[in-house]
Amino acid sequence: MRHARRGRACLVALLGAVALSCAGSVRSSKTEDEARQLVPVPVCVQRLPRRAAPGRVVALEASEYWSLLLPGFDARASLLDLKVPDCSGRTTLPGSGKPSTTLAVKPDDLVIGSGLDGFKVVWLPLEAGTSSRTGLLALLRQRDQVLEVYALGTHSVGAGRSRLELERMGPALAVAALEEQCRGSDGERRCSSACTVYLMSSGRLTAGARFPVDQSVNGIVAGATGRGEYRFNASAEYRADGIALSEKLTVSAPGRGELRSFELQRTLRLEGEHLTPSADSLWVQTARQFGLPETP
C-alpha cells in the first residue's frame, strides 16, 4: 500500500513537471514570435563588399546597393541582366526571369530612406529619366559585415520625385513612399503629392493603400466671380490597427482670401495585407463634385 502511494506521488510530480515544461515552451514560442515581429527574418543575407574600420559602419556606394540586391547588375557597364533573380532568389521586378532582357540603368538615381534601429528602405529605379519609372523596393539593415534584406517589392512613380520613409504600425514595419510633382515657378509654383503605403508580409512589400497628401488646383468657385483655388493637405498618424488621417480643404478667391474650409477625420484600417478606408478622401469627394482632377 505504501509503495502504491509512492507511485501515485511520483506520477503526480512527473505530470506537474511535464506541465511546467510545456508552459515554459509556450511562453518561449510567444516571445520568439514577438521578436520576429519587431525584427523580421531576412529573406537574404549578403556579405558586404569591403570591411569597415573597427567601430564604424561601411558607407555603401550606390552601385554596391545594386550589386548586393540585384546579382545580375554589372557595375562596370551599368547594365542589369533581368534574367538573374534578385538576392532572395525571386523574380520580383517586372520582366525579370525572361531570357536576353538587359537594361541600362543609372545607379546614382537610387533613393534611400532611413528609419529607427538602423533600418533603411532603398529604391532602385530601372527607367531613370523617363516619364514613368519602376524599380526594386527593399527594406534592409546593415549588421556587422553583412547586409540583411527583410522584404522586396516594386515601386512606381510618374514624372516626379519620390521620398521614402519607414513607419512603425505597432510592432510591424511599413514603407511610406511619397510621390511629389511640381509645376510653375516662383510665386506660381504649386506642388502636389500622394503617398503609397507598402506593407510587409512573407518577405514581400505590397501596396496596401494610396492617399493624397498635398493638392492644389484652380477651378470655378461657387459664389465667387471667376476662378479660385482649392488647396488640400493631410497628415497621417501610424498606429497598430492602421493609419489615422486628418484632412483639410480650403477654398479661396483672388482679392477675397479664404472663402470656406472643410475638415475630415478618417482612417485606413489594417486588414491583412490591405488598408481599408473608412471614407473617401475629402479631396476626392470635392474633385468629383466640382469636376476637378483627382489624385494622380
User: Residue 55's pLDDT band (boundaries 50, 70, 90)?
Assistant: low
pLDDT score of 1: 45
Distance CA 286, CA 292 (A): 8
Where does the pLDDT of residue 50 fall: very low under 50, low under 70, confident under 90, or very high at 90 and above? confident
Q: What is the CATH number of domain 40-159?
A: 3.30.160
pLDDT at 181: 81
Ranges 49-63, 84-98, 154-168, 239-253: which has the least confidence: 49-63
pLDDT digit string, tens, across residues 139-188? 999 988 899 999 999 999 876 788 999 999 998 999 999 998 877 666 66
State the Cα–Cα distance between residues 134 and 122, nearest whole angstrom: 13
pLDDT digits (tens, 9 = 90+) for 109-132: 999 998 888 899 999 998 655 567
In total, the chain counts a number of residues equal to 296
Give a three-class secondary structure readout of the chain: CHHHHHHHHHHHHHHHHHHHHHHHHHHHHHHHHHHHHHCCCCCEEEECCCCCCCCCCCCCCHHHHHHHHCCCEECCCCEEECCCCCCCCCCCCCCCCCCCCEEECCHHHCEEEECHHHEEEEEEECCCCCCCEEEEEEEEEEECCEEEEEEEEEEEECCCEEEEEEEEECCEEEEEEEEEEEECCHHHCEEEEEEEEEEEECCEEEEEEEEEEEEEEEEECCCCCCEEEEEEEEEEEEECCEEEEEEEEEEEECCCEEEEEEEEEEEEEEECCEEEECCCCHHHHHHHHHCCCCCC
Rounded CA gap, 137 and 278, in Å?
28
Residue with cell 512589400: 205
Would you list the domain boundaries of the chain? 40-159
Q: What is the pTM of this model?
A: 0.81
Across 64-68, average pLDDT: 97
